[in-house]
Structure 1
């Protein structure tokens, strides 16, 4: 057996194998041996006929089996000798197969993806750091203050005010339609920011057990309930309970009652630190994402098209599952959208290629820099993951083993370690201080 292998520039390799006549003859004999237990030879029980009799009965009918045997044995022998290894079993085209002249077979197989990294220290990003102001602290304290609100039942005859909490029975209908038979009950906080503008004023002045019917038109733009925007509704409301909402004064006593802080200043210091940690952790993750985006621009990839096609199908099925859409195929989905399958597939293929590139990139960085996960780090990773899920590490490990997800979590913890390495390696310009408002826009992708 002789072979030639030629590496292509698209993560594939052309392989040609030639076999001697003797090797073809050996493959035929193995095919006859394999078939001998099933072939019927007159005068012999199945599997008991001499091999030359089996050969006489079967003749060249076992040629395909012989070729497969020969090629499978050849690939097992060649695998370690090939400089560029196939990532799946090659499919050969047999050009000739003759017991007297020998055989020749060709294939083009996909090879392992190739990644050429840039110098990480040449990648530049500008990290962001949060700047917590007194106004930010005050806003947080006021949120805590609302959580410590005290509700006092108002006496009969007292009227609804703009800061009260109501228990109500109500019905509503769109103008021109019928009221539903069932009456709903619920609580309504006057002055809450999510209330439709002007709705609260319809309730001001009502008293306990008083009933009122009124018309209310929603604003033309109302994101909280887009289906109601611009429409006129008729409401029937009855106040069944009325509470005066009072808030504790933000002072040392407030701080002590909230979490045992010695005084208000200590509570402010802790709150500021918590806000800084929360925002800076999120901004660092954003910075890591930006670093990878820049690295990807400078990285060269050779990825087999077959891998991208496989991942495209995976991305599509994840999309269907995530949005809880009815099970369907990509061609059927394209048909429902009224688009060409190629157009829809291309959009999912783009996401698939980006996902493969990111995965390969992280593995390459880890490999080149000898970044690994020790048993201690793996255990610490499970402890941290279990805490975030609110379960014990033992319970998480049992579930991971049940789902056979050990590799997934090892990669996750490894990638977290690689992320920290990348952030430490890239060139970080002078950090830019941002306000909480700016940070929220950055983190939400609105800036």
Structure 2
């Protein structure tokens, strides 16, 4: 057997293998041995007929099996000799296969992706540091205050006021269409920030058991219910209960009721610390993500198309699962959207490529900078993860073994360490101080 392997510039390799006649004959013999257990020859039990008789009966009909036997053995023999290893079994095209003259087969197979890193210290980012104000703490306390609200049922003749909690039966339709037969039931908090502007005006002054029909036009932009934005809907609302909502005063007694704090100042200090911890961690992760985005831009990647295609399908199915959509294929999903498959596939393909690039990038950084996970760090990673999930460390380990997810968690703990290394290596400008509102916009991608 002889071979030539030519590396291409797209993470693939052209492989040509030639075999002499003797090697082809050996492959035929092995194919006859395999077929011998199944072939029926008069006068012999299955598998007991002489090999020369099996060969006489089957002739060249086992050519496909012989070729597969020969190529599989060839790849097993060649694997360690190939400079550029295949990442999956090559699919060969057999150009010739003759017992007298030998055989020739060719394949183009995908090789391991390649990454060339930039100098990490050339990557510039500007970290953000959170600025917690007294107003931020007060807002958090008011949220806690709402959680401790007390509801008292109003009398039948009492009217709805601006801060009441309602129980209602309701149904609605688009203007010009029919109402559904059945009412829906629910609770409605007057004065809630998520309520559409002006909607409550139609309810103010109503009494228990009163029913009212009214038209309401939603704002042209209404993120809480984008399907209703700009539409005029007709509502029928019946009030079945009205509750007066009262809130405790924000004082030392309130602090004790919330979490046992000795006084209000202690609760404020705890609240500030919690806000700082949450936003410091989130903003640091955001800065690390921004660093990776720039590193990816400055890196060179050679990734087999087949990997991106496979990951595209994975990203698509994760999307379907995450949003609880019915199982479907990407082409069918594109039809439902009324879009061309190529357009939808490209959208998921970009996310898939970014995912692969990030994964390869982190492994390459770990390799080049010799970042590894020690046994102690492996154990610490499990303990931290178990704490995050609210379970015992041993329970997490057992579940990981059961799910055979050791590789996933080893990568996770390794990548956490690599993230910290990258954050320490890149060039960081003086931190920019941001408010909670600014931080939330940054973290949501709205700024």
TM-score category (smaller protein): 0.7 to 0.9
1:378-422 deviation digits (Å, cap 9, x = unpaired): 343333333333444444444433433332232222222222221
Equivalent position of 1:217 in the other structure: 216
User: Aligned pair in 2 of structure 1 residues 232, 26: CA closer, same or farther (>3 Å)?
Assistant: closer
Which TM-score applies when normalising by structure 2? Answer: 0.86
Secondary structure in structure 2 of the residue aligned to 1:269: helix
User: Aligned pair in 2 of structure 1 residues 204, 270: CA closer, same or farther (>3 Å)?
Assistant: same
Equivalent position of 1:419 in the other structure: 419
Report matched runs for 1:117-156 at 5 Å: 117-151=117-151
Counterpart contact for 1:199–1:216, Cα < 8 Å: no
CA distance in 1, matches of 2:246, 2:359: 54
Equivalent position of 1:404 in the other structure: 404
Are 1:384 and 2:384 counterparts? yes
1:94-151 deviation digits (Å, cap 9, x = unpaired): 3333333333322221111111111212111111111112221222222223333344
Report matched runs for 1:13-412 at 5 Å: 13-40=13-40, 44-151=44-151, 160-163=160-163, 165-171=164-170, 187-201=187-201, 204=204, 211=210, 213=212, 215=214, 217-221=216-220, 222-225=222-225, 226-227=227-228, 231=232, 233=234, 235=236, 237-238=238-239, 240-243=241-244, 245-412=245-412
Q: Please provide the CA RMSD for this pair.
A: 3.2
Number of equivalenced pairs: 444
Counterpart contact for 2:168–2:188, Cα < 8 Å: no
Counterpart contact for 1:169–1:183, Cα < 8 Å: no
Secondary structure in structure 2 of the residue aligned to 1:32: helix
User: Aligned pair in 2 of structure 1 residues 72, 269: CA closer, same or farther (>3 Å)?
Assistant: same
Displacement, 1:439?
0.7
Secondary structure in structure 1 of the residue aligned to 2:328: coil
Displacement, 1:224?
3.9
1:200-226 deviation digits (Å, cap 9, x = unpaired): 45555566x574646453444454445
Which TM-score applies when normalising by structure 1? Answer: 0.86
User: Aligned pair in 2 of structure 1 residues 433, 72: CA closer, same or farther (>3 Å)?
Assistant: same
User: Aligned pair in 2 of structure 1 residues 440, 26: CA closer, same or farther (>3 Å)?
Assistant: same
Structure 1 residue runs without a partner (length 5+): none
User: Aligned pair in 2 of structure 1 residues 58, 299: CA closer, same or farther (>3 Å)?
Assistant: same
CA distance in 2, matches of 1:178, 1:99: 79
User: Aligned pair in 2 of structure 1 residues 298, 130: CA closer, same or farther (>3 Å)?
Assistant: same
Displacement, 1:341?
3.1
Counterpart contact for 1:308–1:356, Cα < 8 Å: yes
Displacement, 1:275?
1.1
Equivalent position of 2:5 in the other structure: 5
Secondary structure in structure 2 of the residue aligned to 1:18: strand
User: Aligned pair in 2 of structure 1 residues 50, 428: CA closer, same or farther (>3 Å)?
Assistant: same
Structure 2 residue runs without a partner (length 5+): none
